[in-house]
Structure 1
Amino acid sequence: MAKRESNKTLAENRKARHDYFVEEGMEAGIALVGTEVKSIRAGRANLKDCYAEVRNGEVFIRSMHISPYEQGNIFNVDPLRDRKLLLHKDQIRRLSGLVQQEGLTLIPLALYLKEGKVKVNLGVCRGKKNYDKRDAMLEKAHKRDIERQMKERLR
């Protein structure tokens, strides 16, 4: 029996961590059809500029681009279609309450495989202002300089 990969990251939304403060994260399944899983496994998914929303007691990802599978023919679907997230009702109610607070939004942070199934790391995020982004970049640069100096001292 073949050993399955565990938590293999297939796509990541790096821009989200730059543009938002991630308040909390949540794992969710995703309803995919046709050849979408094969295309995601091939690394042809893009999470840039996508978001999630709660509609009629269900959570959907909007604007997530999954390129059509090249070997698929009539089974390929629209690359930008809305995709349903698989969550429990109490999780959906909780997310709905959080999103209705001012300034919070649901952002998919990563797509990964867990026990052979595609999962989404969904973040409840608050938008950053420009000065927050500058502070984060400065802090990262300072940390990099300190690490470099520590490495030189150990030599």
Structure 2
Amino acid sequence: MSIHDMHRGGSMTVVTLALGSQTLAIPTDLLREILDPLPVTRVPGAGALVPGVVNVRGSVVPLADLKQALCIPDEGQDDRSRVLVLDVMLGGEAATVAIAADAVHEVATIDAGAIEAVPASAHVWPPEYLSGLFRGAQGFILLPNLEQIFSNLANRPLAVQL
């Protein structure tokens, strides 16, 4: 989803989550469910970005670590950790993926006009992995470009194929 698509929509409903000290927002139309932490089956040679898979109601689902993709330091997990199961488009086809979150905060509606492009000078995050950002009560909230992130992960030679 591009920032231009978001501006045409008027508003967007998102679920906010924590990865380390950073807050992200995921559009709720991509969210299938939020689960308590699941056992992860490590996949040999998978790498740090998609270290393994999880069993979601009998289906094998790749678990991606967005902290790695977005260069967010790992600050450990606590009892607020959750797994978000998402339905994203990869190469024109629907795919189910999961991401680990340190905490899930709330569902909110944001005005598309409040979404800003990521400044070119913001070298903190890989710009190709962000659709935009907006200011929340506690600071900036990132809108990850999940299609771009997962497409890149799926095309890596050692990554788990999504």
Q: TM-score, normalised by structure 2?
A: 0.29
More helix by share: 1
The structure where strand makes up a greater share of residues is: 2
Larger radius of gyration, structure 1 or 2?
1
TM-score (norm 1): 0.30
